[in-house]
Amino acid sequence: MALLRSWIESANVAECPFPLNNLPYGVFSLAGEAPRCGVAIGDRILDLAACEAQGLIDAKGTFAEPRLNGFMALGRPIWEQVRARLTALLAEDGNRDLPLVALSDATLHLPIQVTEFTDFYASKNHAFNVGALFRGPEDALPAQWTHMPIGYNGRASSVVVSGTPIHRPMGQLKGEAGPEWAPCRRLDLELELGAIVGGSNPMGSRVNVDEAEEMIFGYVLLNDWSARDVQAWEYQPLGPFQSKALGTTISPWIVTQAALEPFRSAGADRVNPLLPYLHESRPGLYDLEIGWSLNGQVMGRTNYNVMYYSSAQQLAHHTSSGCPMRVGDLLGSGTISGSEPYQTGALLEMTQGGKAPVTVGGAPRTFLEDGDEVTLFATAHGEGYSIGFGPCSGTIRAARD
């Protein structure tokens, strides 16, 4: 698919993350004004609440709300109608009298009210690398890993928007003479993609993978900050708990499924056939270059299509017990890692558990230090255009007493 040209010239630059082909949704405010919904286009934000007030679009008044949950709840037919209308308004021959604001003048907010957060473990490379560190290579992958998506229920209350500082957590750590109470010493990032659920299913019902696809509204970058020393002490036998509760950062713009449609891609090769309820009728991953930087230095680069399970497969598996999903649920992909050290999405892997330091700013490093800034990035490359997500950054602050 080629670039869709807009009358907003900044949207026609090949490197711009927000061309007319993208149209990601978010929530923004200007000084002294209430947050409301908008769409990023070039270096501008189209004020969707003002568009509704002027009768240019119809989203049942939901765009005046400080979150996108109401709009998502209207369902896919309305999502498609609004996208088509926005594309027409912003096209080269569109309406040049629209309520636009400069992106640089806006404050960006958490785009949804996160109802629940589930984090998965869907990269075979990451799962093997971490399993080998904790249990040895002969027992790295649990027996069930290649048969179903593995996940855990995280904390919706600690999901924050890009730019929100993250405090180093205190925690119970394993010491030589027993447990210690101390600041985390092995603080880490996780490079992930988050799927935003825009549909729901009743308790006791299940959805298949194709139905799950229809329920996904879009995607955000996601950094699931991790306290590795807390995790190592607590994770047996029920998995991570406080090591993952300190914060999860997401990007402010939700890139829709429609924007990513031209980039569909198959994932990693299967080790064994999946059970029928996890079968996909079309590839569920995307050709999306993704990576992360530490204090401005690019550390890791890989592609989202290395993953073993798609978000739709994760969502279908989530409902397999009859679990009800709700509008605003957030599903983390799990750390996205390639097969090489420079393709890993966490310092735990990159430094082999701290045994192989990396150089950052000319100094050897293993895990995150106070003052560090981690930024995630991702781009899909089309014909003469790019699809981006905007910033997903967080700075580490010292532990609270």
Rounded to 5°, angle at Cα 242 from 360 and 173: 70
Q: Considering all CA atoms of the chain, what is the largest pairwise distance in Å, rounded to the nearest integer?
A: 72
How is residue 33 written in tokens? Answer: 């004004």
Cis peptide before 24 (omega within 30 of 0): no
Is residue 171 within 8 Å of residue 229, measured between CB atoms? Answer: yes
Give the whole-angstrom CA distance, residue 355 versus residue 335: 20
232 HSE (CA, 13 A, CB side)? 18
Quote the Cα angle for 350-397-158, to 5°: 85
Annotation says 126 is catalytic? yes
- Phi and psi at residue 172, to the nearest 5°: -90, 120
The 10 Å Cβ neighbour count of residue 314 is 29
- Token digits for 373? 């800034």
**DSSP assignment string, 253-314:** -BEEHHHHGGGEE--SPPSSPPPGGG--SS--EE--EEEEEETTEEEEEEEGGG-SS-HHHH
Instruction: Characterize the bridge pairing of strands 297-303 and 373-381.
Output: unpaired
302: which 2 tokens?
A: 């890989």
The DSSP annotation for 94-145 comes to: S-S---EEEGGGPEEE-SS----EEEE---HHHHHHHHHHHH-GGG-S-TTT
Q: 3-class SS at 345?
A: coil
Residue with tokens 């006791």: 204
For 148, the token pair is 């179903």
Cβ 366 vs Cβ 351: under 8 Å? yes
Residue in 109, 126, 167, 381 annotated catalytic: 126
Question: Which residues are marked as active site?
Answer: 126
